[in-house]
Amino acid sequence: MAEITFHNDLRGNEPRRSFLNEKRWLLFVYVPIFVSVCSILGIVFEEHKGFSLLVDIALALGLNIFELMWCRMDSRERGYELHRHFTFAVVIFGVLALLYYLFRSRDFREGLISIGWLVLYVIALLVVSSVVSGLVVMVFVVTGAVSPSILE
């Protein structure tokens, strides 16, 4: 049986790209899990200032590493060559290096749009990780794994 198609339905020879490519796995799976785990550890071990500080440092370094991984994946996808010292810039300057990369790898308009997406992503990440962390900590308190005094 013949297939009926309209001229708008005809596609070129472009292969269909899946939604969850490696950049999106990083953004939508690995980073939220990492931030949620660090938030849970920060809440549970808040009384131990030394361990809480260690969790904060691990969170900052981990987010910078995820940022560098995302920039490398994006630059490979766009055919943009990163500077040889970009890794050091990410470690030292963090988010400022990401903002620089977004404007450098795209034109000004696309850079602003990307920064808007970044702001929306950060807000969504904070909301999701706060909800997940709160629920997990509540489960820990209800089951008796953690003292209820951490909620004060």
Q: How far apart are CA 110 and CA 38, in angstroms?
A: 32
pLDDT at 151: 76
Amino acid identity of 92? I
CA 58, 64, 72 angle in degrees (round to 5)?
Answer: 140
Exposed / middle / buried, residue 71 (Cβ in 10 Å: 0-12, 13-18, 19+): buried
Q: pLDDT below 70 — which residues of the chain?
A: 1-18
Alpha carbon distance 146, 36 (integer Å): 17
Angle at 58 between CA 53 and CA 61, to 5 degrees: 125
- Segments making up each domain of the chain, as ranges: 23-77+84-151
> E strand or H helix at 10, and its extent?
none
pLDDT digit string (tens) for 53-72?
Answer: 899 999 999 999 999 999 99
What pLDDT score was predicted for residue 7? 57
pLDDT of 138 reads 94
* pLDDT score for 101: 95
Per-residue pLDDT at 4: 61
3-state helix, strand, coil in the chain (%, to 5): 75, 0, 25
The predicted pLDDT at position 51 comes to: 86
4, 55 in Cβ contact below 8 A? no
